[in-house]
Chains A and B, each alone.
Chain A
Amino acid sequence: MFDELTKKLEYTFQKLKGHGKINEKNISEALREVRRTLLEADVNYKVAKDFIEAVKNKSLGKEVLRSITPAQQVIKIFNEELVDLLGGTVSRLKDSSVPPTKIMVAGLQGSGKTTFCAKLSLFLSKKGKKSLLASSDIYRPAAKNQLEVLGNSINTFVYPYDKEGAVEIAVGAVEEAKNRGYDVVILDTAGRLHINSEMMDEVVEIKNAINPNEILFVADGMTGQDAVNSAKAFLERLDFTGIVLTKLDGDAKGGAALSIRAVTGRPIKFISIGEKVDAIDIFHPDRMASRILGMGDIITLVEKAEEAVDREKALKLEKKLRKEEFTLEDFYDQLQQIKRMGPIENLIEMIPGVRGLKFKDIRENGDELKKTEAIINSMTPEERRKPKIINGSRRLRIARGSGTSVQDVNRLLKQFSQMQKMIKGLSRFGFGKVFKQFGF
């Protein structure tokens, strides 16, 4: 996500850092590069221009030029402006004082509305809020089926209807949510072009009929220069309250995020980063800015770890480690927990300083994990508990069973025994300190 943009900016700032003294000329030069990068990332022409102008004016201030580390100062200004442009602070969903909270979702065709609705529902249920899903898309073939299938997969009730008008469905769904005591009702709407006045009239009618607490405009993160046109038109007619950016798990440079936010002034509330129903994140302007600037996003990483790690298991593990009983089974458990945090390449992206890593290396690391998993899977429970009994013929069997080679099995066993040695060493030094450091 924002990967290319980040890489280019890093390069530009690296060059800037090389200059001891900063003057108007080399700032302008660097900013010209930045401007080009922004335009290549689909940031709107005017938005890019204004942004560069703002950074330039502040960078040419006296404090910066006199500062001992002017390049750092420029980067700081750039960061601040970027956070500002991305919305400043986190914007959360508004709650209705009287349930259900009504959330309406709108956007162009193919932007990912329906998938987002399901993701939002799951997200809310994790926060203890029960939501009802409804689709007022009476046009697209099988749109309702899509939402039903998604709803089933996350155990969420999907409002049933038969050939009613879009407005009736919306009103009916809100009524149903009220009667059944749901906290939230999420209303999916048909994808529509912002210049299709009939369809825009319809979505306004829906809005007026149910008076939503939140209207979220879903935009494809890969959108080009047209992003500002559609966003402006939707804002004008629908006065939406927030933005959702989807498909940010590809290599899209994501400039549309900057443009849409800048021209509508509405906050980006969520980003969607994958096809699985749990691939949704709250949008943090500061974190996104530091990501764009290549400073990594360690906070999100820690949060993901907290979500994925089972506290009880962690405690058990600590005990085992103390008693030096760490087995391959425990090791396998650890792997599973890491996996639950999402695709390894997404995780690595968040670690500061590893941006230089090529995608391929990361993938190979991911493959390595899979191999390890397959090898352990091919062992008997006894072998996992007592790896010492794994002799030559067992190694051959495990290698065959896991589709790896004996060398792979040997390597894993060696690594594991080294790990055990390390753990023994650790327990002698006292565990408390080490574990506190790792946050257990």
Chain B
Amino acid sequence: MKPVFEKFKTGLYKTRITLFCKLKDVISRGKKFNQEFIENIEEILIESDIGIETTMYLMDELKEQYRKNKNFDTSTVLGIIKKKLKEIMMECNTPEISERKQEKPYVILVVGVNGTGKTTTIGKLAYKYKKEGKSVLLSAADTFRAAAVEQLDIWRKRAGADIVKTKYGADPASVAYDSLQAAISRNIDVLIIDTAGRLHTKVNLMEELKKIKRILKKIKPSAPDETLLVLDAVTGQNSLTQAKEFNDAIGIDGIVLTKLDGTAKGGIIVPILKELKIPVKYVGMGEKVTDLALFDSETFINALICD
């Protein structure tokens, strides 16, 4: 899939307007690097959800440059912030996760807390793989939430994929097991497993995920070939904890950042990248099957700081 730059830009369009005006506005108004200027920049950074630590890191860098340079020009602030953000993000630039030459099916496990958009993301992923000419099977392993299976089934139809489902209350691990076996016997290319939303603090539910992973490995040692964590761009600093906890529990290969079509900036992925080095793979920007794009850090930074 080619990065959908245009789509990504429009997705972040609203973000761009607000940030664009704010950051540039502050810089053009504030010719002096004084307390007021510092506070204004700080406020804009904090409001992008990049977190206080990253904000302080960027502010320290600015102050350092100011100390070093007697003729410090505030118009360079934008460039400095951009450069630093780039450094952080490039450290783990998204590798094109290759669907390596391996035994079929390519198993994708999708996890996350409640309401981040897992099922919607799966619908979009299924569509993407179908478009690439692959056969796709969905596994409805969210047997907990009311109507989760029906929701996935509707997405399946939109994407033109197949589905394995059972009754509510069934053991999700057994659903995952059955669907992997089905995928193998039907010679399916890609198997995507939906799981129930769970707060990372619920120990039992995190154990359940580990069990799903263990059981998949019994059939296919490399499975899940990709574990995706779905994060909601609207969520604040808690996303970092979510990423940590899910990563500790089952290991995360990539992040899907959803709901970027709103005004939330999703800046929290900066500290996530910095601390955990987990790449962001996709961004979600709407409710249509096509509203999914490959993540591109350059575009993201530009949108974040409105260059």
Contacts and interface: CB of A to CB of B under 8 A. Distances in A.
B115 interface: yes
Contacts of B201: 249-251, 359
A415 interface: no
Contact of B236 (A42, A153, A194, A247): A42
A139 interface: yes
Interface string A182-218: 0000000000011100000000000000000000000
A387 interface: no
Contact of A230 (B52, B117, B199, B263): B263
A140 interface: yes
Contacts of B46: 39, 45, 225
Q: Give the residue among B147, B236, B239 with the most A Cβ atoms within 10 A.
A: B236
B232 interface: yes
Contacts of A142: 147-148, 150-151, 153-154
Interface residues of A, number: 49
A174 to B, nearest CB: 24
A40 B46 CA distance: 9
B52 A194 contact: no
Given A112-B115, A225-B49, A226-B265, A146 B234 contact: no
Contacts of A223: 234-236
Interface stretch (A67-75, A252-260, A287-295): A252-260
B236 A255 contact: yes
A432 interface: no
A110 interface: yes
Interface string A115-140: 00000000000000000000000011
B97 interface: no
Interface in B219-277: 232-239, 241, 259, 261-265, 268
Contacts of A363: 203
A162 B155 CA distance: 20
A294 to B, nearest CB: 19
A110 B48 CA distance: 20
B117 A109 contact: yes
A195 to B, nearest CB: 6
A222 interface: yes
B14 interface: yes
A45 B47 contact: yes
Contacts of A46: 43
